[in-house]
Chains A and B, each alone.
Chain A
Amino acid sequence: MIHTLGIDVGSSAIKAVAMKLDDQGGGGTLAASHVNKIRKRSVKDVVLQVVERVLQEGGLSREDITYIATTGEGEMVDFRNGHFYSMTSHARGALFLSSSVRAVMDVGALHARVMLMDSRSKVLDHRMTSQCASGSGQFLENISRYLGVAVEDIGRLSLEADKPEMVSSICAVLSETDVINMVSRGVSTPNILKGIHLSIGKRLINLLRMVKAEGDVLVTGGLAQDAGLLAVLQSLALELGLKVRIAAHPQSVLAGAIGAALWGGYRYTKLKMKEAEV
């Protein structure tokens, strides 16, 4: 039995997990996990904190870990053993969370991407947003900050909407003005939030359409926790007649970290086999 660590260094939060694997690097159960927002702190410090927490929670020490894998912007974490690119790890993590999944929609603070994968989590195709923040979490976060809504409450509130109102600008920054106008016109917070969800949702569904996804789609990344966005995605998919079932997993936000940890285990055993050969 071996333990590996997966660290997903995001632009807004650090996610880490410890995984327990068999000696062949297969199987795998989640031993411990932790997520912490960066909040303008030094990324390195937060990474260390998160790793400590995970070890503590899992009753592990550094020595117990056979492979530390990073993903996301983790190339700068100097104590890693290996790095896997986000798409590789999110696909693997998604497969771990739901074995039937054939496409992943990873929506984080600044990015959104959709990957099409096969039953072994090999990425077959993907689409992502360009250098414009109009379809990602930061956008939503800004608006919610303005509305005085905690990020955790966004989803719940959006579900209460009865007459959502769309923002007219595509720009994540300029939309704030629209929102301000809505507030002053007395549009309710749920309706505003759902409007934003719709605008983000449309972009995301479009990505899904472009990779021609079918079957089970798992939403990963921070926005997977947003029930309002999820509902919008589901209804948009239905409206457009896409043959997909979109869902999130309670541990979706950890998908990247989990995937990295699993790949770490795989590489570790492969390297050991090579060593044995020599």
Chain B
Amino acid sequence: MDCYLGIDLGSTTTKAVYLDEHERPLGRGITNSRCNYALACEIAGDEAGINSRFMLLRRRIEEEDGARDGLAELMKWLACSFTFAQYVDQLAALEEICLEEVERWNDAFERDLYAKTLASLFERMRSEAEEMFRPGLAARSDFFRDIVANQYLDHAERLAKDGAVSFDRLTAIYDRAILRVEGKNFATAYAKHLDLACERAVWRGGFEPLGETLRRAVDYAIGVAFNVRNTIGTGYGRQTLPIPKPQIRSEILCHGLGAHFMFPNTRTVLDIGGQDTKAIQVDAKGIAVNFQMNDRCAAGCGRYLGYIADEMNMGVHELGPLAMKARKAVRINSTCTVFAGAELRERLALGEKREEILAGLHRAIILRAMSLLARSGGVHDEFTFTGGVAKNAAAVTALKRLISENYGDRMINISPDSIYTGAVGAALFARRDREAI
């Protein structure tokens, strides 16, 4: 089937979106950019392909069987089972590589000891995995790296308790191995994983009556061939994308158009990504007319939050909810991310509340964004907030308050898919450019 691909190679995450001939979204994929860029694009693209297959699969079931109750539930089962199947493969790869690391050691005793420890560690992880991938459980992260790290470190800590093995060495093994696992693309094995997922969903989810329909749909989805008619790349690392220059588009334009696509009345866009913050004004057609960006210093970007999260031993997901519990926001004096980290420690030591400090930190980020917005021409109706940080409730709350205080009533849009905005814009350009040819 003909489709168009948009890739947003971000500093922290790489996003891909497939659109069909009618500019309808088919699917989207995301991966972290930590491994090499080309691979990140490949994986994100493949993940978007998988996501598109899910979409087609669902459509097929609806067509065949009519929309019915339980379909949503089934899709959830299918999705988490798919992730589970992938996870199992990834876990196996991780184990293998960890063992390889240990194999290289000289000391035979240590080698043996750690190999055994690792074997039991992975055994425990595997036995837990089944439980981790049930529908309805909030995933801690989209990324293998984050999910597995938690599990691994937990067990490593427990195993190291009696002192026979060192926790630090176990982490060191992990740190090396994970990089290599991230260097592999597991999305290519989608057919196998989808098969497995289909089975698990039917049996474990109790969807036997739908089994036949599902099987047919899955087979169909696996069989679809995507004919990518045009690709446009954008994002922080776009210059390194393995595609010709005319197919590369500035992030500003893509974010503007992406936001316009999601919310057609958008006039002002704020994107807070991992390493840069952009304020964009767009016209009625979604074309950027003015923009400001901040991209030299990590202060005020998503990475700032990531850094703070590391500092507090939390996931970025958890920051927002905690900050939301605050009754007031502490004023943060440091602009520098690293200094803010130190200030955080200092304030904690002085007995200030975690949530209030966090609220202050969120406010600090948003204040920086406000100044960019001001510089780009203010906040006009409607306003769309995109980028990874838009997922953070505390940041959103701070933003809403500051906008209403300074610009009055504004319609504020945030899409749950906001992280894909840039990629959507790129995919739209991909289709429009193709049309123009």
Contact = CB atoms under 8 A, between A and B. Distances in A.
A173 B307 contact: yes
B353 to A, nearest CB: 15
Contact of A177 (B11, B172, B297, B337): B11
Interface string A25-64: 0000000000000101011100000000000000000000
Contact of B298 (A44, A173, A185): A173
Interface centre among B34, B183, B275, B338 (most CB of A within 10 A): B338
A244 interface: no
B303 A133 contact: no
B61 to A, nearest CB: 40
B392 interface: no
A184 B339 contact: no
B296 A171 contact: yes
A110 interface: yes
A169 B296 CA distance: 8
A12 to B, nearest CB: 8
A47 B298 CA distance: 32
Contacts of B336: 131-133
Interface residues of A, number: 29
Contact of B335 (A38, A109, A131, A184): A131
A225 to B, nearest CB: 19
A133 B338 contact: yes
A180 interface: yes
A138 interface: yes
A185 B338 contact: no
Interface in B311-364: 334-339, 341-342, 345-346, 348-349
A174 B275 contact: yes
A180 B34 contact: yes
B160 interface: no
Contacts of B179: 183-184
Interface in B112-129: none
Nearest to A11: B342
Interface residues of B, number: 31
Contacts of B348: 40
Interface centre among B34, B171, B176, B298 (most CB of A within 10 A): B298
B77 interface: no
Given A177-B275, A184-B34, A133 B297 contact: no
Contacts of A132: 297, 336
A172 interface: yes
Interface in A133-172: 133, 138-139, 142, 148, 150, 169-172
Interface in B378-429: none
Contacts of B183: 184
B64 interface: no
Contacts of B307: 173
A61 B411 CA distance: 67
Contacts of A44: 349
A172 B338 contact: yes
A172 B335 CA distance: 13
A230 B100 CA distance: 35
A183 B178 CA distance: 12
Contacts, number: 66
Interface string A82-117: 000000000000000000000000000110000000
Contact of A148 (B34, B35, B172, B342): B172
Given A148-B176, A173-B338, A43 B298 contact: no
B337 A131 contact: no
Interface in A247-271: none
A172 B336 CA distance: 9
Contacts of A185: 36
Interface string B149-172: 000000000000000000010011
A109 B339 CA distance: 10
A176 B37 CA distance: 15
B304 interface: yes
A43 B345 CA distance: 9
A184 B349 contact: no
A168 to B, nearest CB: 11
B130 interface: no
Nearest to A175: B298
B349 A42 contact: yes
Given A148-B176, A184-B35, A184-B183, A174 B334 contact: no
Contacts of B275: 174, 177
Contacts of B175: 148
A131 to B, nearest CB: 5
B298 A174 contact: yes
A139 B337 CA distance: 11
B338 A110 contact: yes
Given A40-B348, A142-B338, A181-B37, 17 more contacts: A11-B345, A42-B349, A109-B342, A131-B334, A131-B336, A133-B337, A133-B339, A139-B338, A148-B175, A171-B337, A172-B337, A173-B298, A173-B337, A174-B275, A174-B296, A177-B11, A185-B36
7 contacts: A131-B336, A133-B337, A171-B297, A172-B298, A173-B307, A174-B303, A180-B34
Interface of B: 11, 34-37, 168, 171-172, 175-176, 179, 183, 275, 296-298, 303-304, 307, 334-339, 341-342, 345-346, 348-349
- Sorted from nearest, which 10 A-B pairs have the closest CB atoms? A133-B338, A173-B298, A148-B175, A184-B36, A173-B337, A148-B172, A43-B349, A174-B298, A11-B342, A171-B298
